[in-house]
Amino acid sequence: MPYSNDILIQAKDRLAERRLSAQRAADYRREQLYSQEPRLQEIDRELSQIGINAAKTILKNSDSKADMRQLADRSLALQKEYNEILGRLGFDPTDLEPVFVCQRCSDTGYIELDNRTVVCDCLKKLMSDIACEQLNANSPLQLCTFESFSLDYYSDQPDQNGSIPLNRMSNILNYCRNYADTFSLSSRSIIMRGATGLGKTHLSLAIANEVIRKGMSVVYVSAPDILSRLEREHFSYQYKEEESIFNSLIKCDLLIIDDLGTEFISQFSVAAVYNLFNSRILAGKPIIMNTNLTLNELLSTYSQRFVSRMMGSCDKLDFIGDDIRPRLKA
C-alpha cells in the first residue's frame, strides 16, 4: 500500500537535507585540515586539474596512451603523498568523506539490487515517520506522563461490587509502566475499558511517550476523528489518500485508538474498525484501544466476530472509580 505523493516529496526533501548536512560537515573538516596543512589543498587542486587534462587529452587524440599513463602516474604519486600527509596528522582518507545517516544508499533513498533500482529502507522509514507525524499533528501526545498520573483521586473504599478503586488503579498503573518499559513489537495488545474520566487516555498517552523515547513510532487517534476521515476520503473517491492513512495506521509500531464506540456508527465504520484491528493482529503489531462501552454494548455496536477476536487477543484493563475530572479541575 503506497503513501501519498505529498509524503514521498517530504521524505525526499529530508533525505536531501541529510545529504547536504553531511556534505557541509565534510567540507568543514577538509577546510580545517587544509588550513593546518596547505600542501593538502595544493594536491587536491592538482588532482582536479589532472582529471581535466585527462578529459582534454582523450578528446584531442584518440591514440593518447603515453600521455594518459603519464597523467595516471602523476595522479597516483599525488594520492600517495596526500595519504602520507593525512597519516602523519593522524587522519584517514575516509575522515574527509561525508558521513551519511544511511550507509546503504548514502541518503539518496535508493539502492541497486539485482540490477534494479529499489527504494531503500531508510526512505520507507522516513515516509512512515512523516505519515505518523501528520496523524499525530493534533493529538495531545506530550500532555500526559506516568509522573503526572496521581492515585490520590481514587477511593480506598470498596465499591458496590466489592472492588477497591485505589487498589485496582494502582495495579493498572504498574501494569502500564511495565508495558511501556518492556515494549516491543511482540508486546500484547490492550483494551482499556471503563467509564469516562478514569484515566484511560492519560495512561495510554503515558505509554505512547515512553515508546516514542525508545525511538519507535506511535500513532494516537480518536475513533471519531480517524473513522470520519477515512469515510470522507472513501466516499469522495480519494482512495489513494484513504490507503495512505490506513497504511500509516498499520505500519506504525504502536497504534492507540481512543474513544472507541463514540464514533458515528455505520456499516463503513464497523468494517473499518475490524479491518484495522485484524490487520495489526495479523501483522503481529500491538494496538491499544480505549472504550467507555461495556461488553454488551460492544457486542451490540460491533460484530460478535470482532469483539470475540478483540477479547481473545488483548489484555483487558478494567478501570473503576468515580470521574476524577471535576476533582482535577477543582
DSSP assignment string, 218-240: EEEEEHHHHHHHHHHHHHTT-HH
pLDDT at 61: 66
Question: Is 89 in a helix, a strand, or coil?
Answer: coil
Claim to verify: residue 112 and residue 249 sit in the same structural domain: no
Structural domains counted in the chain: 2
**Tell me, what's the pLDDT at 1?**
41
- Same domain as 228, residue 108: no
Q: What's the rounded mean pLDDT across residues 171-181?
A: 96
pLDDT digits 0-9 by tens, 12-21: 999 999 999 9
Sequence-ordered list of residues with C-beta below 8 angstroms from that of 183, at least 6 positions apart, any chain? 207, 210, 211, 214, 216, 254, 286
Residues 140, 110, single domain; the answer is no
Name the pLDDT band for 328 (thresholds 50, 70, 90).
low
**Rounded Cα distance, 129 and 123, in Å:** 10
Q: Are residues 198 and 149 in the same domain?
A: yes
Q: Which pLDDT score is estimated for 105?
A: 94
Q: How many CB atoms lie within 10 A of CB 109?
A: 23
Contacts of 280 (CB under 8 A, 6+ apart): 189, 249, 250, 255, 286, 287
* 162 lies in the same domain as 293: yes
Q: Does 142 lie in the same domain as 63?
A: no
CA-nearest of 258, 268, 255, 191 to 228 is 268
Highest mean pLDDT among 33-42, 229-238, 283-292: 283-292
Summarize pLDDT for 191-216 with one digit per residue, the tens. Answer: 999 999 899 999 999 998 888 888 88
Locus of grid cell 503506497? 2
Residues found in the chain:
330
Strand, helix or coil at 47?
Answer: helix
Asked if 110 and 144 sit in the same domain, the reply is no
Sign of the dihedral through C-alpha 207, 208, 211, 213: negative
Same domain, 150 and 90: no
Name residue, grid cell 484515566.
199
Q: What's the pTM value of the predicted model, to 2 decimals?
A: 0.67
Residue 291 has pLDDT above 90, yes or no: yes
Q: What is the pLDDT of residues 107-142, one digit of tens each?
A: 999 999 888 999 999 998 888 788 777 767 666 766
pLDDT at 317 over 90: yes
Which range marks the domain in which residue 272 is found? 136-329
What pLDDT does residue 224 have?
Answer: 92
The residue to which cell 480506598 is assigned: 156
Side-chain-facing half-sphere of 321: CA atoms under 13 Å: 25
C-alpha cell at 100: 551519511
Q: 170 and 246: one domain?
A: yes
Q: Are strands 116-119 and 110-113 parallel, antiparallel or unpaired?
A: antiparallel
Q: Beta partners for 279?
A: none
* Secondary structure (3-state) at 116: strand
pLDDT, one tens digit per residue, over 62-113 is 566 777 888 888 889 988 988 898 888 888 888 888 999 999 999 999 999 8
Residues 110, 117: Cα–Cα separation, whole Å: 6
Same domain, 144 and 62: no
